[in-house]
Amino acid sequence: MTSSADTNTPNQGRDEAHQQSNMRKVAMAALAGTSIEWYDFFLYGSAAALVFPTAFFPESTPTMALILSFGTFAFGFIARPIGGILFGHFGDRIGRKRTLVLALVVMGIASTMVGLLPTYATIGIAAPILLTVLRFTQGLAIGGQWGGAMLLVTESAPADKRGYYGAYAQAGAPAGVILANLAFIAISASVSEEFFMNWGWRIPFLASVLLIGISMYIQLHLEETDAFKELETAKNQKHAEATNAASVPERSPVLEALRRYPKTIGLAAGAFLSIQVCFYILIAFILSYGSDPNGAAISRDTMLMAVLIASALQIPTQFMAASYSDRNGRKGIFMAGAILSGLWAFALFPLIDTASFWLIVLGVTGGLMSLGMMYGPQAALYTELFSTEVRYSGASLGYQLGAIVGGAFAPTIATILWTQYSIVWVSVYMAFASIASLICIMMLTETSGTNLQEVK
């Protein structure tokens, strides 16, 4: 006679296989979507350092043109909290998947339009104004994308692998850097310098139209997360039980998140400072610093290749750190990354100043791997800090507020510190950001293993 345990085993095996297959599909879709989304966002950073000062601010001095170009770069960060609020509201109301799809489509359209934008020589002052508007739109989209992508993965993952699967969404950032730098290197190597500055730089932006296709795949082939489905079921039951009672309007998820988690949102933003300050100095500012004719005068392609190699090594670091956080907690590995980032800031620029390619790679790699120790577990950490009904809003607010304070003006501040004082002050700036993040993460509670269905 067959026992019930024996009869359940095949079904359990099929369910587990189906769950693993679905989880892989969700993880790869999140990786693809975030990679192209961040590609668009970071492509602008490379162009802001290498192309936009000449194309959109030709009447300014080279230093001022660079500062103005990085200023338009900052507008994307100013928009990110607004995007987090807008998309967070809908992500907590209508679902993670549909909101993510909308964010991806908005980014695809905005980035393609940058590739079609006339320069200052053609339409005058209207060119940098339109460029700023499109950068602001990119910021709105990235402000909504991150919350949707990371929740789509982390809310679907088993509790003991939430960090690991969350790292797929986080891997989109360094993957986006790789794609953006490869695009610029490939175009630069294929055409003359004159053609690159006039037309070649547009090609990587026009390729952003692919993001719309990825968004359609997500819409048609992925399911909503279990956590959000359970939230919807609970809401429907609550409404059914209250049919005879006076209806009370629901508070906005964003306002509810601010009411219930003000300290947590602030600490989450502070924990993100080091990642943002150091990251944008490592992928954007150093491009202009390294190629400065009064300094080491390193070629553009050499600096881009160094950032590309370092970003490739950042990805496995993030997965290892995220997996470690599943076994040993989120805070310890995050704190270690903050400490290493602050210390490595003082090694970075001396290594670049050698003008040796492999020492430059070492400098950038050390910085990005330190950041990877924080960025890898971050998706799981921020997911676990908030309850389901306000999770999209709360996590997005913490992430995007940290982004605007830390990343918006990092290249601009670094440029001013470098040109007005000394490059050492850029390292000090990076170290102070790391100390601030260390303090904030120490003040947060450990979240590993949290039940995502619990109301906090």
Give the model confidence (pLDDT) of 15-51 as tens digits.
666 667 778 878 888 888 788 878 887 788 778 877 8
Please check the confidence at residue 391 and state whether its pLDDT lies above 60: yes
Please check the confidence at residue 7 and state whether its pLDDT lies above 60: no
Best-predicted range by mean pLDDT among 36-50, 69-83, 370-384? Answer: 370-384
Rounded CA gap, 154 and 145, in Å?
A: 14
pLDDT of residue 347: 96
DSSP class per residue in 68-94:
HHHHHHHHHHHHHHHHHHHHHHHHHHT
Rounded CA gap, 46 and 135, in Å?
A: 13
pLDDT of residue 18: 62
Confidence of residue 283 (pLDDT cuts 50, 70, 90): confident
* Cβ neighbours, 10 Å, residue 10: 9
Inter-residue contact 108 to 209 (CB < 8 Å): yes
Inter-residue contact 31 to 172 (CB < 8 Å): yes
- Each residue of 277-305: b (16+ CB within 10 Å) or e? bbbbbbbbbbbbbbbeeebbebebebbbb
| pLDDT tens per residue across span 367-376 | 999 999 999 9
Which has more pLDDT, 317 or 61? 317
pLDDT of residue 455: 47
User: For the chain, how big is the Rg over CA atoms in Å?
Assistant: 22
* Cβ neighbours, 10 Å, residue 160: 11
pLDDT of residue 287: 84
The token pair that represents 296 in the structure block: 């080491």
Confidence of residue 428 (pLDDT cuts 50, 70, 90): very high
Which has more pLDDT, 242 or 403? 403
pLDDT of residue 236: 64
Confidence of residue 442 (pLDDT cuts 50, 70, 90): very high
pLDDT of residue 382: 93
In CATH, 19-224+252-443 is 1.20.1250.20: yes
The lowest-confidence range among 57-61, 123-127, 337-341 is 57-61
Confidence of residue 68 (pLDDT cuts 50, 70, 90): confident
The token pair that represents 136 in the structure block: 């602001």
DSSP 197: I
- Segment 232-237 shows an average pLDDT of 67
DSSP class per residue in 177-240:
HHHHHHHHHHHHHHS-HHHIIIIITHHHHHGGGHHHHHHHHHHHH-PPPHHHHHHHHHHHHHHH
Percent of the chain with pLDDT over 90: 34
The token pair that represents 202 in the structure block: 């547009």
Confidence of residue 265 (pLDDT cuts 50, 70, 90): very high
Inter-residue contact 197 to 54 (CB < 8 Å): yes
Rounded CA gap, 404 and 252, in Å?
A: 23
Query: What count of Cα atoms within 13 Å lies in the side-chain half-sphere of residue 184?
Result: 27
Confidence of residue 252 (pLDDT cuts 50, 70, 90): confident
Confidence of residue 11 (pLDDT cuts 50, 70, 90): low
> Helices (H), strands (E): how many in the chain?
22, 0
- Closest alpha carbon to 329 in 404, 384, 268, 267: 384
- Closest alpha carbon to 390 in 91, 84, 86: 91
What are the structural domain ranges in the chain?
19-224+252-443
| pLDDT tens per residue across span 100-111 | 888 888 888 998
Helices (H), 296-453: 300-328, 330-353, 357-384, 391-406, 410-420, 423-443
Which has more pLDDT, 5 or 323? 323
